[in-house]
C-alpha cells in the first residue's frame, strides 16, 4: 500500500542556559541499594490498591509501596524470573514471562506455559497475551486459547495490539495490521505498512505506530492514507500517552523523547543530562498521583515528576555536592561546596570563583556581602576571605608628551584576614554579619570580633573583641543575626542567647532551659524564632524576648532537628531538617495551621540540610544548601489539592490463619458477615493505604463496635483476642501526610456461642430440669398436702390471735386514761359544775373517736390530729394549771391522704402533759409537729416541763403510764425498726433543763 508520508525532523538545541531555566524536572532513582531485586526493569503496572508492580530480568517480580520493595520469584511459585509484561485486573496480577503466563491471585500463582510473552493487553474486558507466536486469549477459568486471526499473523511475534476508533491495530515484527474483528472471518483486514513495529498508542483520532529502527508513523484513524513520519527518535521500545496529550517514547539507546501529539514536535527529552544513568528505557507509566515511572535496562527504576524544586549537584555542574553556605547578591547565588571553594550561579550558568588556593581547600561555612557588593566568606581554620573589587592605577606611556600617565581601573582581588595578619581571635569563623561599614565575625569558640576593613589600603582595624570578660558566657556560637531594634543577636551550642548593642553585651542565658544547641535565629514581624537541635522551633514576641513558647499546632513538622529557618514572601515559615524541608503555615497567634513536608519523593533531593545554608533571592525563590546538592524552590500561587487516600484490607486472620476463602474487597462496607466458630475468638486485621509519594506519612486508626476510635498511628495491623461471642464490627480509617482522611472501612464478623452458652440449649436444659423438679415436687406436695392443711389452720388461728392482741394492746392504754378523766370530772362536780359539763361533752366525743379508731389498722392523719385536739382539750379542762399547745403540719400532702396507726401519738402527748408540763413551775407549752419526706413521716412532740429524767425519778415504780410508753415503743419498733424513737431533754443556754423532746419516724403511707 502506498502512503503520502510527511517527514518531520526534530532538532534539539540544548545549552546550559536552557537547562538552567527549563521547567523543573526531577528524576529519582531506585536501585539495588533501595531494595530493587534487579537493575533491569522491563515491565510495570499499578494495581487498584496503589501498589506499583515491577517485572525484572532475572530478579523476578517486585511490589513497591513507595518505601519498600517486596520480591516474588520462582521460589514463591512464579513461572520465571524473567518478566516482559504486567497487567492487573480485578485484584489479579497477570505476569508475562519468557516461559509463559503466571497469574497471581492473593498469595498463589497459577502458571500456564506459552511462547515467550511480549505484552498483555486488556481490550473490551477481554485479556489478550501477545507472544512470539501469535495471540492468546485468557479464559475465565484461568486457561488460555490461541486466537486464529490470519495465517501470517498467527506465526509472527506480536509486539503490541490495541482497539481504537472501531478497529483492532496489531503491531508485529513484520508489519502493522488493521482489522475490524479479531478473528479469521474479519471483513476488514489490511496490512498498512511493512516494518518491525514495536509499540502502539492512540489519541484524538491519531494512531502512533512506532517502529524499532525507522521512527514513528502517525496515522489518521479515519483516513489511513494520511500518514506523517516522525523520523526521530529511533530504536523505540515502548510508547504511552501521558499527561493527557503527550506521547512519551522510550528508546533503546537515547532515553525518552516527549512529543506534542497536536504538532508532532518534540517537547523535551530525558537523557543522561537530566539524570538517567542509562539510555535504555523499556517502559514508562503514569500512576494515579501523576508521577511518571521509568523502567530501564541496567539503571533500575526512576520516578519523574515536575514540581517547584530545581536541584543542582555534581551532575549539573557543581564541583561538590555538600553545600555549606548560601548567599544571594547581585542577581547571583553564591555557594560553598564541600572543601572546594566558592561557586556562583547566575543567568549564564554555574561558575567557579577564583580564590586563593589555600582558602579553597577548607570548608567555607558562612557567606555574606557588604554594601559595595563585595563577598565575605568565613572558613574553618583559615580565617576570613574578602572577594571584591578595588581601584588600581594603570601606568601607560604618553607618546605625545613622552611621559607616563596613570589611569584608574577596577580590579578583582582576594584578601585573607587571619591571625597571621592581625585578626585578633582564632581563624575558625562561624558567622559574619555586616552593618554598613562595620563587620562582626563570630568565631567557633573565642567570641565575636567587631572590625572595619579598608580594601583599597588592605587595612584591618579591630574595634572591639567580645568575649567572656564582656559578658558572653558561652563562646561556642552557632548563629548570629541582626534584630529588629538594631541588636546583634547570637545563639550558642549550649542553648544560650544574648545580644550586643552599643558595644554592650546582654547575655540572657539558657532561655529555653533545654540544654540543647540553638542552631538558627530568625526575626520576623517583631517575633524571634529559634531553631534547636532535637527540640523543635521556639518563639517569643515580648519586649525582652525572655519567655519562649514552642511552635506547635494541629499539625507538626517532620523533625525536631532544625538546621535552617526562613520565611518566604507568602508568609510561610520554612524549616530545614535532616529529612528535607517543612513548609509551615502559621496563624496570627503563631500556631501551626498546616504543615507541608518535602523530601526526596517530593523533589527535595538534597535530603539533609546544612546549618544556616539558606537564603532568598530577589524573585522570592528560596535556596537550600544540603548534603547532596543545592535546591531552588520557586513558589507558586496554588498547591495541588490532595485526593482522599484509598484504604483496603490486606488480610484477615482467624486463629493466626488467613481467610483465603473470601474476597476481602467485596466483604468490606457490606452486609456480609463472616461466621466464626466458638473457638475462633482471636482475629487479626492487616490494612493498608498505598501512598507512593509519602509512604511514611500515612496513619491509621481503628475501633471495634461502638468503642471510641484509637489514636492515630503508623501501625498497619490490629490483633484482637478473647473476643466476646456475638456480632462484631471492625472499623478502620487512614489519613495521608496532608491529613486527608479515607472513607472508613467496616468488616463484620460473628462468633458463634458454644453449645453450653446457646440460649436454646440453656432453655432446653432448664425446661428438662423444671419438668423433673415439677414431677418430684408434685409427689412431695401430694405427701405433705394433708399435713399443711392442718398447719395452715393453725397459722390462721395464730394470726387472728395476733391481730386481737394488737388491738388489745391499743386498748391497754384506754382504761388508765378513762380512769384519770373520770376522777377529774368527779373532782369538778362540787365546785365547777359548768366546767364539768364541758369536760363530760369533750370526753364523750374523745371516747367515741378512740373506740372507733381502735378498731382500725390505720386512720388518716387529719383524723389523728382531730383526736389529739379533743384529747388535749380534755386535759386542759381537767388541769389545774393552764398551758398552751400547737399542732403544726409541714407537708405538701393533704392530711386526709396520709395514713397513720391509731393511738400511736396520744401516749407521748399524755406523758408530756401529765409528767412534764403539769409538774413544772413555768407556764406550760406543748408543740406537736408533723413533717414528711419522700418516704417518711416524722413526728416531733416537745414540752417545756421538768424533763424526762426528773419526771422518771418522781414516778412510782408501778406507774401504768410507763407500760403505755413501753407498748407504744414496741409498736414503733415493729413499724420502723430499732432506734426509731428518740427521747431527749432540752437544755437551756445556762445548762438548766428546758423540757423534753420526743421524735420518731414511721414509713410514709398514703391512701392513693
Q: End-to-end distance of the chain based on CA atoms, in angstroms?
A: 111
- Supply angle C-alpha 30, 32, 33, rounded to 5: 80
- Supply angle C-alpha 35, 38, 41, rounded to 5: 110
The rounded distance, in Å, linking the Cα atoms of 457 and 413 is 12
Residue 267, pLDDT > 80, answer: yes
pLDDT of residue 788: 75
- Supply angle C-alpha 631, 635, 640, rounded to 5: 110
**CA proximity to 498, closest of 544, 560, 464:** 544
pTM for the predicted model, two decimal places: 0.62
DSSP string covering 44-58: EEE-TTS-EEEEEBS
The rounded distance, in Å, linking the Cα atoms of 168 and 164 is 6
For 846-888, what is the HEC assignment?
A: HHHHHHHHHCCCCEEHHHHHHHHHHHHHHHHHHCCCCEEEEEE
Mean pLDDT, rounded, for 845-859: 81
pLDDT digits (tens, 9 = 90+) for 160-209: 999 999 999 999 999 999 999 998 888 888 999 999 999 999 999 999 99
Residue 622, all three cell numbers? 528560596
pLDDT digits (tens, 9 = 90+) for 597-637: 998 878 888 889 999 999 999 999 999 999 999 999 988 75
The rounded distance, in Å, linking the Cα atoms of 392 and 408 is 6
Residue 95, all three cell numbers? 505476569
- Which of 22-26, 686-690, 738-742 shows the lowest mean pLDDT across its residues? 22-26
Percent of the chain with pLDDT over 90: 57
Mean pLDDT, rounded, for 546-564: 92
Residue 403, pLDDT > 60, answer: no
**CA proximity to 810, closest of 850, 775, 770, 838:** 850
pLDDT of residue 142: 87
pLDDT digits (tens, 9 = 90+) for 332-390: 999 999 888 899 999 888 999 999 987 888 999 999 999 999 999 999 999 999 999 99
pLDDT digits (tens, 9 = 90+) for 414-451: 999 999 989 998 899 999 999 989 999 999 999 999 99
pLDDT digits (tens, 9 = 90+) for 131-159: 999 999 999 888 999 999 999 899 999 99
Instruction: List strands edge to edge, sheet with 342-346.
Output: 323-329, 332-337, 342-346, 349-352
Number of helices (H), then strands (E), belonging to the chain: the values are: 9, 73
Do the strands 518-524 and 527-532 form a parallel or antiparallel pair, or are they unpaired?
Answer: antiparallel
Residue 268, pLDDT > 80, answer: yes
In Å, what is the CA distance from 98 to each residue of 102, 108, 118, 135, 843?
11, 19, 8, 15, 127
DSSP-assigned beta bridge partners for residue 207: 202, 219
pLDDT digits (tens, 9 = 90+) for 763-815: 888 888 889 888 888 888 888 887 777 777 777 766 655 565 555 555 544 56
3-state helix, strand, coil in the chain (%, to 5): 20, 45, 35
Place of cell 391497754: 812
Confidence category of residue 714, pLDDT binned at 50, 70, 90: very high
The rounded distance, in Å, linking the Cα atoms of 279 and 610 is 33
Residue 304, pLDDT > 60, answer: yes
Residues ≥6 apart with Cβ < 8 Å to 442 = 429, 430, 431, 432, 433, 448, 477, 480, 490
Amino acid at each position: 500500500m502506498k502512503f503520502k508520508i510527511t517527514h518531520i525532523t526534530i532538532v534539539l538545541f540544548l545549552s546550559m542556559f536552557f537547562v538552567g531555566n527549563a521547567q523543573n524536572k526531577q528524576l529519582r532513582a531506585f536501585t539495588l541499594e533501595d531494595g530493587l531485586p534487579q537493575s533491569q526493569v522491563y515491565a510495570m503496572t499499578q494495581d487498584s490498591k496503589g501498589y506499583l508492580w515491577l517485572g525484572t530480568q532475572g530478579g523476578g517480580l517486585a511490589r513497591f509501596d513507595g518505601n519498600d520493595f517486596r520480591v516474588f520469584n520462582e521460589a514463591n511459585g512464579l513461572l520465571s524470573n524473567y518478566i516482559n509484561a504486567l497487567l492487573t485486573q480485578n485484584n489479579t496480577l497477570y505476569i508475562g514471562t519468557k516461559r509463559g503466563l503466571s497469574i497471581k491471585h492473593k498469595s498463589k500463582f497459577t502458571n500456564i506455559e506459552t511462547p515467550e510473552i511480549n505484552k498483555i493487553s486488556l481490550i473490551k474486558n477481554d485479556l489478550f497475551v501477545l507472544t512470539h507466536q501469535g495471540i492468546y486469549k485468557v479464559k475465565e477459568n484461568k486457561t488460555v486459547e490461541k486466537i486464529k486471526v490470519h495465517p501470517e499473523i498467527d506465526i509472527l511475534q506480536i509486539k503490541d495490539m490495541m482497539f481504537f476508533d472501531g478497529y483492532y491495530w496489531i503491531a508485529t515484527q513484520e508489519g502493522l495490521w488493521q482489522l475490524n474483528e479479531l478473528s479469521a472471518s474479519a471483513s476488514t483486514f489490511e496490512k498498512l505498512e511493512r516494518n518491525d513495529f514495536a509499540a502502539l498508542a492512540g489519541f484524538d483520532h491519531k494512531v502512533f505506530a512506532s517502529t524499532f529502527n525507522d521512527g514513528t508513523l502517525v496515522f489518521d484513524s479515519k483516513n489511513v492514507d494520511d500518514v506523517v513520519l516522525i523520523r526521530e527518535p529511533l530504536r523505540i521500545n515502548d510508547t504511552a500517552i501521558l499527561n493527557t496529550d503527550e506521547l512519551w517514547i522510550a528508546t533503546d539507546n537515547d532515553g525518552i523523547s516527549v512529543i506534542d501529539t497536536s504538532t508532532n514536535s518534540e517537547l523535551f527529552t530525558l537523557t543522561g543530562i537530566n539524570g538517567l544513568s542509562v539510555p535504555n528505557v523499556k517502559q514508562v507509566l503514569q500512576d494515579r498521583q501523576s508521577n511518571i515511572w521509568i523502567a530501564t535496562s541496567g539503571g533500575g527504576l526512576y520516578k519523574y515528576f515536575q514540581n517547584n524544586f530545581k536541584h543542582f549537584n555534581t551532575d549539573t555542574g557543581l564541583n561538590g555536592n555538600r553545600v555549606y553556605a548560601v548567599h544571594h547578591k547581585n542577581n547571583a547565588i553564591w555557594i560553598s561546596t564541600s572543601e572546594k571553594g566558592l561557586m556562583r550561579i547566575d543567568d549564564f550558568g554555574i561558575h567557579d570563583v577564583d580564590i586563593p588556593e589555600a582558602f579553597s581547600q577548607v570548608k567555607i561555612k558562612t557567606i555574606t556581602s557588604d554594601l559595595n557588593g563585595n563577598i565575605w566568606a568565613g572558613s574553618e581554620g583559615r580565617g576570613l576571605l574578602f572577594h571584591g573589587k578595588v581601584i588600581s592605577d594603570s601606568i601607560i606611556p604618553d607618546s605625545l608628551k613622552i611621559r607616563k600617565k596613570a589611569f584608574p581601573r577596577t580590579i578583582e582581588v582576594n584578601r585573607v584576614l587571619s591571625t597571621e595578619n592581625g585578626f585578633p581571635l582564632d581563624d575558625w569563623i562561624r558567622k559574619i554579619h555586616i552593618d554598613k561599614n562595620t563587620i562582626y565575625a563570630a568565631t567557633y569558640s573565642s567570641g565575636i570580633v567587631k572590625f572595619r576593613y579598608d580594601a583599597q589600603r588592605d587595612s584591618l582595624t579591630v574595634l572591639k573583641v567580645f568575649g567572656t570578660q564582656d559578658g558572653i558566657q558561652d563562646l561556642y556560637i552557632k548563629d548570629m543575626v541582626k534584630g529588629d531594634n538594631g541588636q546583634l543577636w547570637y545563639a550558642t551550642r549550649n542553648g544560650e542567647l544574648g545580644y550586643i548593642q552599643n558595644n554592650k553585651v546582654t547575655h540572657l542565658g539558657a532561655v529555653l532551659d533545654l540544654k540543647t544547641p540553638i542552631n538558627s535565629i530568625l526575626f520576623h514581624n517583631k517575633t524571634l524564632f529559634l531553631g534547636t537541635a532535637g527540640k523543635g522551633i521556639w518563639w517569643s514576641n515580648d519586649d525582652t524576648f525572655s519567655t519562649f513558647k514552642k511552635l506547635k499546632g494541629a499539625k507538626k513538622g517532620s523533625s525536631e532537628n532544625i538546621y535552617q529557618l526562613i520565611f518566604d514572601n507568602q508568609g510561610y515559615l520554612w524549616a530545614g531538617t535532616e529529612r528535607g524541608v517543612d513548609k509551615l503555615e502559621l496563624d496570627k497567634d503563631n500556631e501551626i495551621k498546616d504543615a507541608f513536608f518535602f523530601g526526596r519523593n517530593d523533589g527535595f533531593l538534597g535530603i539533609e540540610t546544612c546549618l544556616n545554608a539558606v537564603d532568598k533571592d530577589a524573585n522570592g525563590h528560596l535556596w537550600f544548601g544540603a548534603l547532596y546538592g543545592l535546591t531552588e524552590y520557586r513558589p507558586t500561587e496554588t498547591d495541588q489539592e490532595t485526593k482522599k487516600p484509598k484504604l483496603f484490607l490486606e488480610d484477615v486472620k482467624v486463629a493466626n490463619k488467613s481467610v483465603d476463602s473470601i474476597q476481602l474487597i467485596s466483604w468490606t462496607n457490606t452486609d456480609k458477615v463472616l461466621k466464626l466458630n466458638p473457638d475462633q475468638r482471636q482475629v487479626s486485621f492487616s490494612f493498608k493505604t498505598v501512598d507512593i509519594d509519602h509512604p511514611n506519612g500515612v496513619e491509621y486508626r481503628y475501633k471495634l463496635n461502638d468503642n471510641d476510635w484509637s489514636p492515630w498511628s503508623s501501625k498497619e495491623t490490629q490483633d484482637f483476642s478473647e473476643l466476646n461471642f456475638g456480632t462484631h464490627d471492625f472499623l478502620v480509617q487512614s489519613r495521608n501526610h496532608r491529613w486527608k482522611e479515607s472513607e472508613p472501612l467496616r468488616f463484620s464478623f460473628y462468633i458463634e456461642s458454644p453449645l453450653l452458652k446457646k440460649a436454646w440449649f440453656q432453655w432446653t436444659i432448664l425446661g428438662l430440669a423444671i419438668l423433673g423438679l415439677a414431677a418430684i415436687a408434685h409427689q412431695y406436695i401430694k405427701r405433705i398436702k394433708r399435713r399443711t392443711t392442718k398447719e395452715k389452720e393453725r397459722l390462721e388461728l395464730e394470726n387472728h390471735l395476733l391481730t386481737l392482741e394488737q388491738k388489745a394492746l391499743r386498748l391497754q392504754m384506754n382504761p388508765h386514761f378513762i380512769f384519770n378523766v373520770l376522777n377529774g370530772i368527779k373532782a369538778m362536780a362540787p365546785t365547777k359544775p359548768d366546767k364539768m359539763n364541758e369536760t363530760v361533752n369533750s370526753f364523750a366525743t374523745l371516747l367515741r373517736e378512740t373506740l372507733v379508731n381502735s378498731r382500725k389498722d390505720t386512720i388518716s392523719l387529719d383524723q389523728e390530729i382531730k383526736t389529739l385536739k379533743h384529747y388535749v382539750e380534755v386535759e386542759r379542762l381537767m388541769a389545774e394549771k393552764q398551758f398552751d399547745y400547737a399542732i403544726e403540719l409541714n407537708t405538701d400532702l393533704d392530711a386526709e391522704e396520709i395514713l397513720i396507726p391509731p393511738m400511736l401519738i396520744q401516749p407521748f402527748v399524755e406523758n408530756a402533759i401529765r409528767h412534764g408540763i403539769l409538774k413544772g413551775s413555768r407556764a406550760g407549752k406543748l408543740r406537736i409537729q408533723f413533717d414528711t419526706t419522700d418516704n417518711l413521716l416524722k413526728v416531733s412532740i416537745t414540752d417545756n416541763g421538768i424533763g424526762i429524767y426528773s419526771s422518771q425519778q418522781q414516778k412510782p415504780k408501778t406507774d401504768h403510764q410507763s407500760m403505755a410508753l413501753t407498748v407504744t415503743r414496741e409498736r414503733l419498733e415493729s413499724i420502723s425498726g430499732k432506734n426509731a424513737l428518740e427521747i431527749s431533754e432540752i437544755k437551756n443556754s445556762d445548762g438548766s433543763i428546758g423540757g423534753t423532746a420526743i421524735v420518731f419516724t414511721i414509713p410514709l403511707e398514703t391512701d392513693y
